[in-house]
Amino acid sequence: MLEIRDLHVKFHNSNREAVGGVSYTIEDGEIQGLVGESGSGKTVTAMSIAGLLPRKQCSYSGQILLDGMDLLHADRNELRKIHGRHIGVVFQEPMSSMNPLMKVGHQVEEVLLLHTNMTAEERRRKAIETLDQVELNNPEEVYEKYPHELSGGMLQRAMIAAAIIIRPKLLLLDEPTTALDVTIQAQILELLKRLNKEYDASMLFISHNLNVVRKLCTEVAVMQRGLLVEEGKTEQVFYNPQHEYTKRLIAAIPTRNKRKEEC
Amino acid sequence: MKYAARRIAMLLLTMVIVSLLAFVAFDIISGDPATAMLGTQATPEKIEALREEMGLNRPLVVRYGEWLLGFFTGNLGTSYSYKLPVWQLIAPKVGITLCLSVISFLLIVVISIPLGVRSARYAGGRLDGAGTAINQLGMAVPPFFTGILLTWLFSTTLHWFIHGQFPELTKNPAGALKYLLFASVSIAIPRVAMTVRMLKSTILGEMQKNYVRTAISRGNDRKGVLYRHVLKNALVPVVTFLAQTMAEIVAGGIVVEQVFAIPGLGRLLVASIANRDYPVVQAIVVILAFWVVLAGTIADLINQQIDPRLQLGGDA
Ligand SMILES: Nc1ncnc2c1ncn2[C@@H]1O[C@H](COP(=O)(O)OP(=O)(O)OP(=O)(O)O)[C@@H](O)[C@H]1O
Ligand SMILES: [Mg+2]
């Protein structure tokens, strides 16, 4: 469903390409992992897919085809119909990615306001239902809160709720579990798996944490300095890494897991 | 609500301090009012008798309390030069200056907010350069100069109002307001230019924030991003700026009242300073200070409604 062909992105204020020729595909219903060190170009790749590159600040080439439509070169009006409706994005920093002066509930239901004819009451009910799905306690209360009144983890779940409320066919998740503690992280992963089964959502899941990627993703891609250095079935990449960099990443997985593997 | 109560308590405290400072300062500067009224030739007995009659021999605190109470009862002493009760002298002028300030302020708000939003929307467009140039011109022209131009155009040439014949506010309100409108325009021009520029740069700054990217990712168009998300975020500094504007209108008004020959508080203040008519000056100083502090308080209360994060704010 999503095909990236030779994506290049270079910011004018830097002399190195942030993304230097990336190609891969995400099939229907697939959860694709994307790992790599800080600054390797994961977020820039995701933003390119979402049609959210700051176009004036960079030069870009290649193609990003979502069911045949080129998102990289689409104009704002075409993108607007896709945004939120067909592509949902969960951004890396939940606190700054939320409007500080808008109630969390209104941000969660905004996609419904923009893409459906639902009434305010219907939207509210749906938002509360979705907040409940991401396992936030007291969703009615959360609905009325402002972002500064919630913790980082709660906000991240609210962000996920906002992205999935309309069930887009592609979800871009930029480190959605980094700010969360381990138990909540596990809950979120379960939720994402459930959504994936429930309506066949495709996902691009960006993470630093290889363990998480391993639990969730069927396929994984590894990025280093703007390049895709390795790609394949998750288990294959883990047991038989080809690239030096991937080997180092796997070697760096926290010890608790290594011990498990040794047994 | 608790915040509002605290904020108003602070306003009152500030006013007590300001008025106390004004009272003590003028008590020291003005020397002996009895001598001032009777002249240096008067005999010491006569002066002493007048001091007793005016209550000047009582302690400072008592006289301060009585004077402060005077702002509510209208008993603020007697003007040296007009030999009239200060309140009777000031009251009609307060009305005129208040009208002038309010009209100017409304002009500023009504013109600059839509204009600022528009100039942010079309920033980088074809008319952006021209807009900036006009804006800078507006900022550079001092109100007294536009005042002179407007007087020449609308009074001397077109006779839309008669310079120097200010209609009484109570008898001919429409005529008075028309007269004040011309003065308000000259006060408003530079402040409109400043507010537009400030609103534009605040909006453009907000546009760079992460939450804007989120709003776009949900399918908002430019208008949706601007009106549903950015505008509210850009408003807090603008409200604060408008409160400063409200204070500065009064200061700017003093000069403009001279240019347009408007018998307002500003003209009375200038005349009273020249005549060393301290009871009048003292009262006007406190009224102007109240206006400034009130503007700041209202701005804080509005901002606290816009931005719930400010409710946590300790002292502000
Ligand atoms: N708006 C921008 N302007 C200029 N350079 C940028 C911009 N956004 C990203 N970059 C650069 O692009 C490169 C890739 O950044 P990117 O955010 O994609 O990394 P990342 O893999 O997401 O890292 P992290 O794991 O820390 O989130 C970095 O060198 C970064 O400095
Ligand atoms: Mg990133």
Taking alpha carbons only, the member of B138, B163, B155 closest to residue B257 is: B163
**Quick check: helix, strand or coil at residue B125?**
coil
Q: How far is CA B83 from CA B43, B79, B89, in A?
A: 21, 5, 10
Mean pLDDT to the nearest integer, B178-202: 93
Give Dmax over CA atoms of chain A in angstroms.
Answer: 57
In the prediction, which pLDDT does A241 show? 83
Query: Is residue B84 one of the residues assigned to a domain?
Result: no
Which pLDDT band holds residue B143 (cuts at 50, 70, 90)?
confident
In the prediction, which pLDDT does B99 show? 92
B268 and B120 in a common domain: yes
B121 and B253 in a common domain: yes
Q: Are A160 and A171 in contact (CB under 8 A)?
A: no
Task: Average the pLDDT over each of A214-218, B4-8, B57-61, B288-292 and give the range with the smallest value.
Answer: B57-61
Helical ranges in chain B per DSSP H: 2-29, 33-38, 44-54, 60-73, 86-121, 128-140, 143-150, 173-207, 210-217, 222-224, 231-260, 265-274, 278-306
Length of chain A in terms of residues written = 263
* Cβ neighbours of B288 (radius 10 Å): 19
Q: Does A55 touch chain B (CB under 8 A)?
A: no
Task: Select the more confidently predicted residue: B164 or B8.
Answer: B8
B224–A114 CB contact, under 8 Å: yes
Task: Average the pLDDT over each of A81-85, A158-162, A255-259, B98-102 and give the range with the smallest value.
Answer: A255-259
Q: Tokens at residue A89, please? A: 């994005």
Residues near B147 by beta carbon (within 8 Å), at least 6 away in sequence? B183, B186, B255, B256, B259, B260
B15 and B145 in a common domain: no
Chain B residue with Cα closest to A102: B229
In the prediction, which pLDDT does B312 show? 57
| Ligand 1, pocket-test mutation among A40, A45, A49, A92, most atoms within 8 A of CB | A40
In the prediction, which pLDDT does B316 show? 39
Mean pLDDT to the nearest integer, A129-150: 93
In the prediction, which pLDDT does A261 show? 47
B211–A115 CB contact, under 8 Å: no
- B165–chain A nearest CA distance, Å: 50
- pLDDT value at A21 more than 50: yes
Phi, psi of A26 (to 5 degrees): -120, 125
C-alpha span between A247 and A34 (Å, rounded): 15
Write b or e for each residue in B10-28: b if 16 or more Cβ atoms lie within 10 A of its Cβ, otherwise e. bbeebbeebbeebbeebbe
In the prediction, which pLDDT does A256 show? 55
Ligand 1, residue A208: give the atom nearest the CA.
25
Phi, psi of A140 (to 5 degrees): -60, -40
Side chain identity at residue B139, one-letter code: M
B138 and B34 in a common domain: no
B114 and B62 in a common domain: no
In the prediction, which pLDDT does A248 show? 82
B218–A84 CB contact, under 8 Å: yes
Q: Which domain holds residue B196?
A: 92-314
Query: Is residue B173 one of the residues assigned to a domain?
Result: yes
C-alpha span between B316 and B314 (Å, rounded): 6
Q: What is the CATH number of the domain that holds B306?
A: 1.10.3720.10
Axis-axis angle for helices B231-260, B265-274 (nearest 10): 50
- pLDDT value at A7 more than 90: yes
- pLDDT value at B219 more than 90: yes
Query: Is residue B44 one of the residues assigned to a domain?
Result: yes
At A173-200, the pLDDT tens digits run: 999 887 677 887 888 888 889 888 888 8
Query: Is residue B79 one of the residues assigned to a domain?
Result: no
Torsion B37-B43-B48-B50 (CA) sign: negative
- pLDDT value at B1 more than 70: no
- Chain A and chain B share a number of CB contacts under 8 A equal to 74
The reply to whether ligand 1 has any atom less than 6 angstroms from the CB of A207 is no
- pLDDT value at A123 more than 60: yes
Which residues face B188 on adjacent strands?
Answer: none
At A30-77, the pLDDT tens digits run: 999 999 888 899 999 999 999 999 888 999 999 999 988 899 999 889
Average pLDDT score, chain B: 87
| Ligand 1, pocket-test mutation among A9, A12, A22, A44, most atoms within 8 A of CB | A44
Q: Tokens at residue A81, please? A: 């119909």
In the prediction, which pLDDT does A254 show? 67
The reply to whether ligand 1 has any atom less than 6 angstroms from the CB of A240 is no
Structural domain ending residue among the three candidates B73, B106, B136: B73
- pLDDT value at A257 more than 80: no
Give the position of tokens 């409940």.
Answer: A132
Chain B residue with Cα closest to A53: B213
A85–B308 CB contact, under 8 Å: no
Query: Is residue B81 one of the residues assigned to a domain?
Result: no
Which pLDDT band holds residue A155 (cuts at 50, 70, 90)?
very high
The B-side interface with A (CB below 8 A) comprises 209-211, 213-222, 224, 228-229, 232-233, 306-309
Phi, psi of B125 (to 5 degrees): -80, -170
Q: Are A25 and A210 in contact (CB under 8 A)?
A: no
Mean pLDDT to the nearest integer, B194-209: 94
* Cβ neighbours of A10 (radius 10 Å): 18
Which pLDDT band holds residue A258 (cuts at 50, 70, 90)?
very low
On chain A, the residues whose CB falls within 8 A of the CB of B210 are 91, 93, 96-97
B246 and B149 in a common domain: yes
Helical ranges in chain A per DSSP H: 42-49, 76-82, 94-97, 104-108, 110-115, 120-133, 139-144, 152-164, 182-199, 210-216, 234-239, 244-251, 255-262
Query: Is residue B151 one of the residues assigned to a domain?
Result: yes
On chain A, the residues whose CB falls within 8 A of the CB of B218 are 83-84, 110-111, 114, 162
Name the percent of chain A lying above pLDDT 90.
56
Q: Does A100 touch chain B (CB under 8 A)?
A: yes
Mean pLDDT to the nearest integer, B68-86: 83
Given its phi and psi angles, is residue B247 left (phi above 0), alpha (psi -120 to 50 degrees) or beta? alpha
B262 and B211 in a common domain: yes
The reply to whether ligand 1 has any atom less than 6 angstroms from the CB of A39 is yes
Q: Are B89 and B79 in contact (CB under 8 A)?
A: yes
Mean pLDDT to the nearest integer, B149-154: 86
Which pLDDT band holds residue B314 (cuts at 50, 70, 90)?
very low
B145 and B236 in a common domain: yes
B218–A83 CB contact, under 8 Å: yes
Show the CA angle centred on residue B261, arms to residues B257 and B262, nearest 5°.
60
Structural domain ending residue among the three candidates B73, B105, B122: B73
B96 and B68 in a common domain: no
Residue nearest to ligand 1 atom 28, measured at CA: A39
- pLDDT value at A237 more than 90: no
Task: Average the pLDDT over each of B112-121, B161-170, B275-284 and give the range with the smallest value.
Answer: B161-170
Q: Does A197 touch chain B (CB under 8 A)?
A: no
Q: Does A105 touch chain B (CB under 8 A)?
A: no
Query: Is residue B165 one of the residues assigned to a domain?
Result: yes
Mean pLDDT to the nearest integer, B142-155: 86
Give Dmax over CA atoms of chain B in angstroms.
Answer: 87
**Quick check: helix, strand or coil at residue B148?**
helix
Number of compact structural domains in chain B: 2
In the reported structure, the alpha carbon of residue A39 is separated from the centroid of ligand 2 by a whole-number distance in angstroms of: 7
Taking alpha carbons only, the member of A121, A120, A140 closest to residue A130 is: A140
Q: How far is CA A220 from CA A44, A203, A257, B149, in A?
A: 17, 11, 19, 73
Q: Tokens at residue A154, please? A: 């709660």
Which pLDDT band holds residue A262 (cuts at 50, 70, 90)?
very low
Query: Is residue B166 one of the residues assigned to a domain?
Result: yes
The reply to whether ligand 1 has any atom less than 6 angstroms from the CB of A54 is yes
Q: How far is CA B33 from CA B88, B275, B285, in A?
A: 19, 13, 18
B48 and B102 in a common domain: no
Q: Tokens at residue A175, please? A: 């480190």
Chain B residue with Cα closest to A77: B221
At A67-121, the pLDDT tens digits run: 888 999 998 899 999 999 999 999 988 889 999 999 999 999 999 999 999 999 9
Structural domain ending residue among the three candidates B44, B73, B102: B73
Q: Tokens at residue B241, please? A: 């700026």
B151 and B256 in a common domain: yes
Length of chain B in terms of residues written = 316
Mean pLDDT to the nearest integer, B171-194: 90
pTM for the model: 0.85
Residues near A159 by beta carbon (within 8 Å), at least 6 away in sequence? A90, A91, A94, A97, A98, A176
| Residue in A83, A96, A107 closest to B219 by CB | A83
B104 and B40 in a common domain: no
Residue nearest to ligand 1 atom 31, measured at CA: A39
